[in-house]
Structure 1
Amino acid sequence: MPNGDKDSQWQNHDYFNGSEFQRSPQSEEIYRTEWKDIMDYLFSVPSIVVWVPFNEAWGQFKTEEIAEWTKTYDPSRLVNAASGGNFYRTGDIVDLHNYPAPAMYLYDAQRVNVLGEYGGIGLPVENHLWKPDNNWGYVKFKNSKETTEQYVEYAEQLKKLVKAGFSGAIYTRTTDVEGEVNGFMTYDRKVDKMNVPVVKKANQEVIEEFQSN
């Protein structure tokens, strides 16, 4: 759910212990109306498997109530109450965000534990950029070989986290966006920036680590 009213308290390394953000009555009404409308509109889209009412504390309020309402309104899907925090013991998933390297610094035995964002390895490719300079990545390299090697190194770290109880990871990102050059592909989707067979092999090894544990 896109959110305004950004909360200044973002506690993404532990369960939230502050005073939860309070929206105005008008803002809360808008949120509830639009969140229900989004769920109604997208209900029949088969690729949606998780509802995410909040991301990284942006506009996050009444987290437990909103998560429980979301789960009740559509019990057929999982609920990720707060992607990247602020975390409460509600919903089905604890979703950590960490850049650039993988890390699992919070664990909940009652929920699925995932690394919802990591990576962000930057590689600007000339003539395939949205803007010619001042592009950004959490780390940046000059060629495909270095970028691929960094990705594989992170995959090796993911394998070690399997025994710590993590159940999935999402790399940032599929393609470059306007000012960020951290995609598998360039902004125009014309160039694969990493060695695809090597990346596939690294990903398969992570999956096999899950299967063996």
Structure 2
Amino acid sequence: MSDTPSGEPGSTTRRPRLTVFSGPSGVGKSSVLAELRRLNPDIFFSVSVTTRSPRPGEVDGVHYHFVDPAEFQRMALAGELLEHAEYAGNQYGTPRGPVEAALAAGRPALLEIELQGARQVRRAMPEAQLVMLLPPSWEDLVHRLSGRGTEEPALVARRLAVARQELDARDEFDATVVNTDVRTAAAKLLTLVVGPGLSTNACS
């Protein structure tokens, strides 16, 4: 696997836009995004709503907004979600208001969502940029998921099956970044999010 350029024009000046960041479970999205946040805290990171239970160490309102199924249904019916999808038996969605407010204020916005949600955003906002994070190899991803030790083997097998489907959809994305090293991957993602020549605003 290799990195794929975004195909953006050479201009270093553009209006902020939405970047959708996706990738299979276990590929290291959280680690890359943590480094991206350190590099450039001016980027707006959307916090998704989910019906799944918090994992150890996750904080409500920071990692996700954890809600019950009834509240999630209410938000979806009220049009408060930019996208929503089911993944591994749970519901996930993106609050619409904060994303639109950030873009209107001139801040680039980033969503971390699954493939179903990325496809919805592409339909709703064709100008959004879709970026997929890839593992160095399939074997590496299998090792990462199996090595978590926090889930039953049947659930790991299910996640691997979903991961294969997600990787097969990589051609639907505008760019891919291979996570061989977290810092390198975050630096490449930063350039995609803010544009060539603008990532120099990043914090050291």
Does the alignment reach a TM-score above 0.5? Answer: no
Which one has a larger percent helix, Structure 1 or Structure 2?
Answer: 2
Higher normalized contact order (CA 8 Å, seq sep 6+, divided by chain length): 2
Which one has a larger percent strand, Structure 1 or Structure 2?
Answer: 2
Normalised TM-score (structure 1): 0.27
Normalised TM-score (structure 2): 0.28
